[in-house]
A and B are shown apart, each in its own frame.
Chain A
């Protein structure tokens, strides 16, 4: 063997070792990043998206839209072709600035850029779809907004029949239907195009163009890449931007008064929708739906009651079944009987409730039209059979002893809220 060939063999071996080491380090770095990403995820994301990333965290069932299920690789906000996964930059942007109009907050003030990169690496590891690289869309130069472009965009709006879901005015007027379901069977209203601050992925014409171009995976909003040309979609984006109205925080007194008058009129015209809004935002769902040991709502038990509150020294109170079930829910209650509970804390058999945790004293401050709306909405909640036990007041001597401890010994007895369903359905549904 010559000296040169020995040298080249050595050189080759050294290169192989170095390359292997580099590959090993790279993999390890990536795995370590994923590990650190998981730590960030568990701390900041799991409450909504769930420990396993299936969008089933403790808070998931209460917020609309529901948190993303990361195991499917389907994302609404992308800059990539239909059916493709989003880019890292797409995901990081959603984490950084949040998704407007949803419970997903902007994390850029709280998490560092490294944290966000690592959590994105972790989220990608939850879905096999990310093995295929994303196919990025080229939005091109775009068309700057102008009165001509907006007029052309309006014609595209009509041609593509956007009004069937979004209405002729962008806010549902004249629409065939504005209520849909997403791929996870969750209710999903068509976007109100006059409220750009609630556009999930942003409200610039480029953001809006991308939604047309890529579609919103998991929702009925399709891609228009085949139905319209790039130029048409840019014109349409400019038109949608032009539909945006002023938000209340930039309005004059007259405009605020007009907005509120319009909202009140709409609430009266559509009491069921108003009632749904009130029931969801007044925390009715939180106490009237039983949860498991991870505080997740038991499936199919929304508003079916059965949460046990042990209130010392008074007794055991189980939240009522608010569904329209005739046997065990509100199906056989009259409107007035329901209103008496909401506003006076008195059940139809005359039993008076404590002023907490059911906050009827506060609910009664609502306008009568709002209380009507709540009752009308509760009538539409699908029936769930769950017989809930009547309030059980404590045995007199233990009540007096409890009161003695509270008032004389200065204790602070707890209200304990229990896991599981105390009603007849047993949480099996």
Chain B
């Protein structure tokens, strides 16, 4: 009987170690998910524009959605959930922190919330960031952190479409910190350190009616 208990215990222990090893090895399961699933997720997580009443605005927003999804804005402006990015809180921000020689930046809330998101900004202010990286207070985000140097090459009409789409996604309240000036780079030879896996904003994003 004692021998049997001993063996059971040993098997359980080995299984537990294997489970931990497998957990560490496979989670997050980047390489065991089919590539197509990443694409499906990127495609379906972006809110649809079908509910926009004005047909011209809907067509422009649809173009904007195509640009926002294919440019991968969600790659940085996601909200962090307990298990990686929470794509249901689309573009609520906070999941990426970028430390450069100039400052430390956190990805912002791009939803239309009037207090913490783009609802605070005019169309011109949003377009100015997408075209020149210049924020209303005059600071410039490095293009290696927020790739405005690429988005500057959008035509003004495509940039407009992006802003129209961002105006129509569901609003989430989520305060993300302002940039903190100073050298945030800790790794020699690097010009940028990107941190993910956590929510660098304040509190969890909450839906706004």
Which residues does A use to contact B, with CB under 8 Å? 43-44, 47, 58-59, 62-64, 100-106, 109-111, 195, 197-198, 247-249, 251-253, 255-257, 259-260, 277, 280-286, 291, 293, 295, 310, 343-346, 352, 354-357, 359-366, 370, 400, 403-404, 406-408, 411-420
Contacts and interface: CB of A to CB of B under 8 A. Distances in A.
A43 B102 CA distance: 11
A416 B193 contact: yes
Nearest to A363: B70
Given A366-B70, A417-B194, 18 more contacts: A47-B142, A58-B144, A59-B148, A103-B132, A103-B152, A110-B138, A247-B160, A282-B150, A284-B150, A360-B38, A363-B70, A370-B70, A400-B24, A403-B24, A407-B27, A412-B195, A414-B193, A416-B192
B157 A355 contact: no
A148 to B, nearest CB: 32
A361 B149 contact: no
B21 A361 contact: no
B153 A280 contact: yes
Given A344-B35, A400-B24, A359 B75 contact: yes
A197 B156 contact: yes
Nearest to A284: B150
Contacts, number: 204
B103 interface: no
Contacts of A252: 56
A48 to B, nearest CB: 8
A251 to B, nearest CB: 6
Interface of B: 21, 23-25, 27, 30-31, 35-36, 38-39, 41-43, 54-56, 58-60, 63, 66, 69-72, 74-75, 97, 99, 128, 131-134, 136-138, 140, 142-144, 147-158, 160-161, 187, 189-198
Contacts of A111: 138
B24 A407 contact: yes
A404 B31 CA distance: 18
Given A291-B191, A407-B23, A282 B157 contact: no
Given A58-B142, A59-B143, A419-B189, A285 B39 contact: no
B156 A406 contact: no
Contacts of A102: 152
Given A103-B152, A283-B147, A283-B150, A295 B30 contact: no
B142 A419 contact: no
B71 A283 contact: yes
A362 B35 contact: no
A253 B59 contact: yes
Of A257, A282, A284, A411, which is in contact with the most chain B CB atoms at under 10 Å from its CB? A282
The listed residue with most A CB atoms (<10 A of its CB), out of B27, B39, B156, is B39
